Structure 1
Amino acid sequence: MEAVEAIKARRSIRRFKPDPVRREVVEQLLELTVQAPSAKNDQPWRFVVTTGQGKNRLVETLRMAMEEAEAGGISTGSMRGSLQVMSEAPAVILVFNRISRQDIPEPGDYFKLLVDAQSIGGAIQTFLLAAQAMGLGTLWICDVLYGTCQIREFASCADELVAAIALGIPAESPEKRPRVAWQDLTTWME
């Protein structure tokens, strides 16, 4: 599948078949992912791949974080739905920023966090498109941020949590969702 085809065909998948994704396939996806461009070639990403019981423990960790937040009066938005997707997906990849931390302020950190976030977003998009080209489905999940502290502890990773990616064989073929026309979002200055 060409890059243009993968971009046009990619959809957010929320239903997965139970079949596992082979470790070699995930490794190949990660090898492609780290080819993504990054500012100053810093490559700020770190990945934690969860499958099987590890993924189940992750989902339970997030469920407890959600319940704790809700008990404290904090709205967790669409987290319940994201937990359902993650429990159904054969693999969930946690994505961390290994360079910048939001909770350790240093001069210029806001700038560095923004730059790293852009680089990591590019890496996530590369992962999503590579998975699409291989016939796999993905969902980019940010609801995991409600459980940042708990996930850091779960993953034994002190890095800044950025997102998670649910990965598996799609059990649905969602229609294309509406997009704002690029012409409505673009200004030409000649």
Structure 2
Amino acid sequence: MESLHTQSTGAMANLIKSRRSIRQFKSDPVSKELLIELLNVAAWAPTHGVREPWRFILYMEEARDTLAKAMVDTYSAEDRVKYAQKKMDYFLHVPMHLIVVMNEDSRQKQWDEDYAAASAWIQTFQLAAWEQGLGVVWKTNNFNYHPGFRETVGVQPGEKIVGLLHIGYPELIPPPRPRKDAQQILTIHDKL
């Protein structure tokens, strides 16, 4: 058992360290079958009490236009002039957009646990996608809070958008950005 654990730790560590947030995608389509497979893999993310507080809304193919328009409709008139066409083009180029929503529990502890679980789900999904050659970027934008956007894309009352994931095959993989050494931010208590 020890040797199996050691082997998988190395492979997992490499997967975690190699994953990048992808912002430039090829226009190549991603199959729904692959997406569903990845959704089912990510379902194994830690979740308190196996509540699985998440659900997903997928926009692909022609429906990307609805999502893009809902996003642009949240812009001020000035921002529409500046950014609308560029954002529309981007949303229509990315093969898939997955909205990850969670139920908003009124109890703070459960809300915190559910948000942590949904965030763990997203990271698990990103890693599973990366392993299959897919890139993902996890976006949390102001339009996620806009009532018109939420209604248009199918977010229900009592749900929070945890992230909008752009998904596709990477056109460009950015270089790694440095991370802090854990020793710089670790406080150790080892004596009474």
TM-score, with normalisation over the residues of structure 2? Answer: 0.81
Report the aligned-residue RMSD: 2.7
Q: Which amino acid aligns with 2:104?
A: S
The percentage of aligned residue pairs carrying the same residue is 27
* Cα distance in 2, alignment partners of residues 69 and 35 from structure 1: 44
Q: Name the counterpart of 1:156.
A: 154
- The aligned length equals 177
Shift of 1:82: 7.3
SS at match of 1:66: coil
Q: Unpaired segments of 5 or more residues in structure 2?
A: 1-7
d(CA) in 2 for partners of 1:147, 1:82: 18
Q: Per-residue CA shift, 1:93-141, capped at 9, x if unaligned? A: 00000x216xxxx4x3x33222111000000000000010001111010
Counterparts of 1:129 and 1:144, CA distance in 2 = 25
For residues 85 and 182 of structure 2, the distance between their equivalents in structure 1, rounded to whole angstroms, comes to 32
Q: Gaps spanning 5+ residues in structure 1: where?
A: 72-78
Query: TM-score under structure 1 normalisation?
Result: 0.82
Distance in 2 separating the partners of 1:32 and 1:146: 26
Classify the secondary structure of the residue corresponding to 1:95.
strand
1:100 aligns with 2:104: yes
How has the CA–CA distance of structure 1 residues 6 and 83 changed in structure 2, closer, same or farther, with 3 Å as cutoff?
Answer: farther
* Alignment correspondent of 2:166: 166
Matched-pair contact (CA < 8 Å) for 1:85–1:166 = no
Aligned match of 1:76:
none
CA contact (8 A) 2:74 2:143 kept: no
- Deviation of 1:85 after TM superposition, in Å, equals 4.8
Q: Does 1:67 align with 2:65?
A: no
3-state secondary structure, aligned to 2:24: coil
